[in-house]
Amino acid sequence: MSHHGVDIWTKALETATYAREELRKINGLRFISENIIGKSGIIEWDSTKLGILTNPMFHSGFEVEHMLNSKFNIEIELRL
Protein backbone atom coordinates (compact mmCIF):
# COMPACT_ATOMS: atom_id res chain seq x y z
CA MET A 1 0.00 0.00 0.00
CA SER A 2 2.87 2.39 0.68
CA HIS A 3 4.07 2.08 -2.91
CA HIS A 4 0.83 1.67 -4.86
CA GLY A 5 -1.91 2.63 -2.40
CA VAL A 6 -3.17 5.65 -4.33
CA ASP A 7 -3.39 3.66 -7.56
CA ILE A 8 -5.14 0.74 -5.83
CA TRP A 9 -7.63 3.03 -4.08
CA THR A 10 -8.33 4.93 -7.32
CA LYS A 11 -8.99 1.67 -9.16
CA ALA A 12 -11.32 0.48 -6.37
CA LEU A 13 -13.34 3.70 -6.54
CA GLU A 14 -13.50 3.57 -10.35
CA THR A 15 -14.62 -0.07 -10.27
CA ALA A 16 -17.35 0.60 -7.71
CA THR A 17 -18.58 3.62 -9.67
CA TYR A 18 -18.67 1.60 -12.90
CA ALA A 19 -20.51 -1.28 -11.22
CA ARG A 20 -23.06 1.11 -9.71
CA GLU A 21 -23.66 2.79 -13.11
CA GLU A 22 -24.20 -0.56 -14.82
CA LEU A 23 -26.45 -1.91 -12.06
CA ARG A 24 -28.59 1.25 -12.18
CA LYS A 25 -29.64 0.15 -15.66
CA ILE A 26 -31.65 -2.69 -14.08
CA ASN A 27 -35.26 -1.60 -13.63
CA GLY A 28 -36.43 -1.60 -10.03
CA LEU A 29 -32.98 -1.92 -8.47
CA ARG A 30 -32.40 0.72 -5.80
CA PHE A 31 -29.18 1.58 -4.01
CA ILE A 32 -28.01 3.04 -0.78
CA SER A 33 -25.94 6.07 -1.73
CA GLU A 34 -24.47 9.27 -0.37
CA ASN A 35 -28.00 10.65 0.09
CA ILE A 36 -28.19 8.71 3.38
CA ILE A 37 -25.65 11.03 4.98
CA GLY A 38 -27.33 13.06 7.71
CA LYS A 39 -30.19 10.61 8.17
CA SER A 40 -30.54 8.51 11.33
CA GLY A 41 -27.17 9.72 12.60
CA ILE A 42 -25.23 8.61 9.50
CA ILE A 43 -22.17 10.80 8.99
CA GLU A 44 -20.30 8.92 6.25
CA TRP A 45 -20.86 6.68 3.26
CA ASP A 46 -18.33 4.20 1.83
CA SER A 47 -18.43 4.69 -1.93
CA THR A 48 -16.58 1.41 -2.50
CA LYS A 49 -19.61 -0.53 -1.23
CA LEU A 50 -22.59 -1.48 -3.38
CA GLY A 51 -25.57 -1.18 -1.05
CA ILE A 52 -28.61 -2.68 -2.77
CA LEU A 53 -32.11 -2.35 -1.33
CA THR A 54 -33.84 -5.69 -1.77
CA ASN A 55 -37.32 -4.81 -0.49
CA PRO A 56 -38.45 -3.36 -3.88
CA MET A 57 -37.59 -6.79 -5.37
CA PHE A 58 -39.82 -8.58 -2.83
CA HIS A 59 -36.87 -10.65 -1.60
CA SER A 60 -35.27 -10.62 1.80
CA GLY A 61 -31.58 -9.90 2.18
CA PHE A 62 -31.13 -13.56 3.08
CA GLU A 63 -32.75 -14.70 -0.18
CA VAL A 64 -30.64 -12.33 -2.28
CA GLU A 65 -27.51 -13.42 -0.43
CA HIS A 66 -28.26 -17.06 -1.23
CA MET A 67 -28.91 -16.28 -4.92
CA LEU A 68 -25.74 -14.23 -5.32
CA ASN A 69 -23.62 -16.78 -3.50
CA SER A 70 -24.97 -19.92 -5.16
CA LYS A 71 -25.13 -18.57 -8.72
CA PHE A 72 -22.17 -16.19 -8.84
CA ASN A 73 -20.03 -17.02 -5.80
CA ILE A 74 -20.51 -13.44 -4.54
CA GLU A 75 -20.12 -12.92 -0.81
CA ILE A 76 -22.02 -10.08 0.79
CA GLU A 77 -21.12 -8.17 3.90
CA LEU A 78 -24.50 -7.44 5.45
CA ARG A 79 -28.08 -8.51 4.95
CA LEU A 80 -31.18 -7.47 6.82
pLDDT tens digits for range 31-44: 888 888 888 888 98
Residue 2 has pLDDT above 90, yes or no: no
The pLDDT score that the predictor gives to residue 51 is 85
Q: Yes or no: say if 52 and 45 are a contact pair by the CB < 8 Å rule.
A: no
DSSP class of residue 55 equals G
State the CB neighbour count (10 A cutoff) for residue 68.
15
Of the listed ranges 27-31, 35-39, 53-57, 66-70, the one predicted with least confidence: 53-57
Distance between CA atoms of residues 80 and 74, nearest Å: 17
Q: Which residues contact 53 (CB under 8 A, 6 or more apart)?
A: 30, 31, 32
Parse the chain into domains and list their residue ranges: 5-72
Residue 80 has pLDDT above 70, yes or no: no
**pLDDT-derived band at 79, boundaries 50, 70, 90:** low
The pLDDT of 43-65, averaged and rounded, is: 83
